[in-house]
Amino acid sequence: MTVVDDVAKTVPVAEKVADKFAAETAGTTETAAWRQKYEAASRDVYRATLLDLARTDPRIFVVDTDMGGFEDGFEAELPAQYVNVGIAEANLMGVSAGLAADGLVPFANTIASFAATRACEQVKVDIAGNNLPVRIVGTHGGFSAGHYGPTHHALEDVAILRTLPNLTVVVPADAAETEYAIRAVADTDAFPGPVYIRLGRKATGLVHERPYAFRIGRADVLRGGGDVTVVATGPLPVSEALAAADLLAARGIGARVLNMHTVKPLDEAAVLAAARETAGLVTVEDHVLVGGLGAAVSELTAEQHPCRVRRIGVPDGFHDEVGGERELLALAGVTAERIAAAAEEVVRHAP
């Protein structure tokens, strides 16, 4: 059974989970309270959310690789639900697969670049091939560990992992969306297969200022617009897409902005509607252009509704620069100005 089939059959259950969480967070709609909770690093909100869930669900296990951050909270409170395999990513995936096969819900924690490359065979064979409910959480996605250099750049993880069978790929846009995603995938009735969740390192600012209807597999429409559509995934790409929409509005161009937090399964309906209703699409990601969001969107539109697509991302090549996340993204051309220029080109060449 494909992931698309799984999601299609389980959306009603997933919606109940999301609706319950939205109701529980309704009291945090005041900006100050919301910001206090979510103006934090996504990985910190992830750890707090997982601990909250594990208190009432003994199936949830943390499988760690000396990442740090779980010791004072999760391990201290729930030591029987915590396993540290050390810096051994292949072993991480094998142990997590074994726990999942025994009916548990392991969250396997490592750096995104290591999850997709160093442990790829184990993810493919042990987890994805057996359609096991392992939740692989890769932090330091994109250039967010740029200060460590190219060994820690995670620029190809989405391309690699979206090719694996049964695997859902989720890239939250901020800490609030991270909590929605973690609560959703903790429900194995709604999502019985494996999931990859890609997080960053440091706080990147809020995209969402209040509770909203989060659904895995369904794009989040952040701005309406009828001239061109910007499809973005990941915290800084989404923020840059919104900034580009402001630039375009000042120039009289209405840009629709889709936060494509789920890269697999892609929200085909939202993409095809944008292809039909606007002049074309601009995709934005903190990932190489080969195989990522832009490739997924291009594959879909080429087959079902050909239109002009411009991709903004990291150019193909070995990027040996060392620097901050924003600095490296700007160097790669992932900026609001470049997104706006690409969108203007799409509009200018509209039939």
Q: Which residues are known catalytic residues?
A: 89
Distance, CA of 146 to CA of 322 (rounded, Å): 6
Start-to-end Cα distance in the chain: 40
Q: Which two tokens stand for residue 330?
A: 């700007």
Tell me whether residue 103 is exposed, middle or buried, using C-beta atoms within 10 angstroms of its C-beta: 0 to 12, 13 to 18, 19 or more: exposed
DSSP state of 104: -
For tokens 């901050």, name the residue. Answer: 324
Given a contact cutoff of 8 angstroms between Cβ atoms, the answer to whether 250 and 206 are in contact is: no
Q: In what order do the strands lie in the sheet with 82-84?
A: 82-84, 60-64, 105-111, 135-139, 195-198, 168-170, 262-264
Give the β-pairing of 105-111 and 60-64.
parallel
Distance, CA of 272 to CA of 268 (rounded, Å): 6
Task: Choose among 276, 266, 277: nearest CA to 299.
Answer: 266
Amino acid in position 193: G
Task: Choose among 188, 91, 94, 180: nearest CA to 133.
Answer: 188
For tokens 């003994």, name the residue. Answer: 58
Q: Which two tokens stand for residue 180?
A: 């929605």
CB environment 70-99: b (16+ within 10 A), e (fewer) = beebbbeebeebbbbbeebbbebbbbbbeb
What are phi and psi for residue 195, nearest 5 degrees?
Answer: -140, 140
